[in-house]
Amino acid sequence: MPPAVSPASPAWLDADPGSLAPTVLVIGGFITSASWYGGLAEALRARGVADVVVASIWTPDWILAAFRGVGPLTTRAGRALLQASEASAASPRSLGAPLLVVGHSAGGTLARLLTSPVPFEGRRLNASGRIGALVTLGTPHLLGPDVRWGSRMARAGARFAERHVPGAYFAPTTGYLAVASRLIVGRLDGENGRSRFVRDLYEGIMAQPERDAVEGDGLVPAESALLPGARHLVLPDATHGPGPLSPWYGSPTQLDEWWPAALETWHGALAARRELAAARRTA
C-alpha cells in the first residue's frame, strides 16, 4: 500500500518538523479507565507536547466488549482521534500535524485497528493519514496459537491487525515504536509461586513451552510486545501497569526512557511525509 499523507491542514508541511510539537492521543489498556491516564497526560504536557487527549474508554466498556465485540471500542477510539486531530489543527505548535498516538497494552491494538483500510466489525476507520507515530507500551502484538488471557481482544483485534496492517505497515510515513520491559522473569522451575504464576501469564499470551525463563513486564512477555518492523525499546525496570512494585510504563521515570525515542520517531515520519508531498508536487 502506498504511504499515506495526512488529510489535516497542510500548514505543518511548510514548517521544519523539528520545530513542531505533537498533539498526543492516549488510548488506554484492557479493563482500565480514561481517568487512570491523567498522570501520564500531565507528564507529557510537562515535556512540551502541544496537547493531550485521552480516549474516553472506561472499564465497563471493556467488560461489555466481551459480549458485544471490540467494534464499539474502536468507535470510541476513533472519536478521540478526531477530537485530537481537531486539537492539532487548532494548535499553533502542531499546525495540524498528524498525531502521536500512545497505546497502552490493548490500547496499542486499538490504535493499529484505527489505521486499517479494511472494515473491522463493520467500521472502516482508515486513519493512518492522521497518525504520525504509533507508540505501543506493553502491547501483546505477537500471540501464541492458543491465547488464554484477553482472548477475545486477541482474536478479534490483534489477529485482524496482523492480517490487514501487519507490522510497521505504513512506515516510513507513520513511525512505529514498540516498548517492552524485561523486569519480571517468569520461570517454570521458579523457587516461589509468584515466579511460576508470572510464567503462566506469559505462556497464556505467547506460547513458549520449551523455555524455562521468560522476561516481561509482569503480564506481557517482552517478545510479544515487539512489533515486527517497528523501532524496539526494551526497558529494564517497567511494570505493565500501576502498582506497588516498580514504576509502570507511564510513570515519569519510565516516560523519560521512551519519550525521546517516541518524539524522534514522530519527527522522522513527518520528514518522510514532507518528502513524499514534495515529490508529488514535482511529479
86, pLDDT greater than 70: yes
- Answer whether residue 9 shows pLDDT above 70: no
In angstroms, the Cα distances linking 244 to 131, 153, 154, 234, 251 are: 34, 27, 27, 21, 12
Give yes or no for residue 211 having a pLDDT over 90. no
pLDDT recorded at residue 188:
83
Instruction: Check residue 194 and give its pLDDT.
Output: 79
Strand order in the sheet with 51-54: 51-54, 23-27, 99-104, 131-137, 175-181, 231-235
Classify the C-alpha dihedral 265-268-274-280 as positive or negative.
Answer: negative
Instruction: List, in order of start, the domains of the chain with CATH numbers.
Output: 10-181+220-282 (3.40.50.1820)
Is residue 193 scored above 90 in pLDDT? no
Least confident of 71-80, 88-97, 103-112, 139-148: 139-148
End-to-end CA distance of the chain: 19
Q: Is the pLDDT of residue 222 over 90?
A: yes
pLDDT single digits (tens) 18-40: 899 999 999 999 999 999 999 99
Q: Strand 131-137 to strand 175-181: parallel, antiparallel, or no bridges (unpaired)?
A: parallel
Q: Which residue has the higher pLDDT, 60 or 203?
A: 60
- Can you give the pLDDT at residue 7? 46
Average of per-residue pLDDT across 199-220: 85
Residue in 143, 151, 185, 153 with CA at minimum distance from that of residue 29: 153
Between residues 165 and 152, the one the model is more confident about: 165
Report the predicted TM-score, pTM, of the whole model to 2 decimal places: 0.93
* Pick from 146, 168, 135: nearest CA to 254: 135
CA distance linking residue 249 with residue 195, whole number of Å: 21
User: Using 50, 70 and 90 to split pLDDT, how confident is the model at 104?
Assistant: very high
Record the cell numbers describing residue 29, joined without a space. 489498556
pLDDT of residue 6: 44
Contact 255, 235 (CB under 8 A): no
**Amino acid 248: pLDDT:** 96
Per-residue confidence (pLDDT) for residue 148, from 0 to 100 = 63
| Per-residue pLDDT at 202 exceeds 80 | yes
Residue 207 has a pLDDT of 73
**174, 178, 37: which is closest to 99 by C-alpha?**
174
The three three-digit cell numbers of residue 206, written as one number? 505467547
Is 60 exceeded by the pLDDT of residue 116?
A: yes
Which pLDDT belongs to residue 2?
41
